Structures are given as C-alpha cells and as structure tokens.
C-alpha cells in the first residue's frame, strides 16, 4: 500500500501546486480586466498607456536567471538526496528526477545570457 500511496501523494501535490498557480494567475488577470471594464463604464474611456501598464507583465531583466538558479538548486537537492539515501540503487532514479529541473534551469540561464532583451517601458 505504501508503494502506491507515497508516489500518488507526491505527484498529486505537484499537480495541486501547478493547478493553484494557474488558478490564482487567472483570478489576478480577471480582477485587472474587471477594473478596466469598470473604468470604461464610469468614464467612457481609458488611457491606453494605463491599460498597457496594467496588462503588461513587468518582469525584471534577471527573472530568467533567478528561475534558472532556483531550478538548478532544486536539481542539485534531488541529486544530493539520491547520494544520501543508503540504498545504492537510489542514485540513478534520483539523478533522473534531478535532470528535469536541472535542464530547464540551465535553459533559463542560457536564455538570460544569450536571448536579446526588450527594455522595460
């Protein structure tokens, strides 16, 4: 029973975190659009610069680097966990799990250094 329950809880928690992130991002955007709609109803017009400032996701110039470093750190934590588990057969699966956030993190770091950036207005 434990052999099924533990992986089920792990993957269900990953799914719950992902769904929560999408849900709250959707709610935030909906509130923004409703605020624009209320401003349109009250005044009849909205300044385009205001709408652009509200809708645009202002991410900093180092956001790719931050995400990359965090994902690489998570990958290193999984690899370290595999080394610390006393069972010799644990290292390969943990390195496989660590490969996913590690490679995504390295690609974010690559984006930071090689992708052209648009200036934040």
Q: What is the pLDDT of residues 67-103, one digit of tens each?
A: 999 999 999 999 999 999 888 888 999 999 999 999 9
Its pTM stands at 0.59
Q: What is the pLDDT of residues 101-120, one digit of tens each?
A: 999 999 999 989 988 766 55
Which whole-number Å values give the CA distances from 45 to 30, 49, 90, in the listed order?
Answer: 19, 12, 62
Best CA proximity match to 78, nearest among 100, 51, 59, 57: 100
């Amino acid at each position: 029973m434990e052999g099924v329950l533990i992986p089920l809880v792990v993957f269900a928690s990953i799914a719950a975190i992902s769904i929560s992130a999408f849900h709250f991002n959707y709610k935030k955007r909906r509130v923004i659009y409703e605020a624009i709609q209320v401003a349109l109803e009250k005044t009849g017009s909205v300044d385009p610069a205001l709408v652009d400032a509200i809708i645009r996701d202002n991410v900093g110039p180092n956001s790719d680097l931050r995400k990359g470093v965090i994902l690489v750190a998570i990958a290193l934590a999984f690899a370290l966990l595999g080394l610390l588990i006393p069972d010799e057969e644990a290292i390969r699966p943990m390195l496989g799990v660590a490969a996913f956030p590690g490679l995504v993190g390295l690609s974010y770091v690559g984006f930071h250094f090689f992708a052209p950036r648009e200036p934040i207005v």
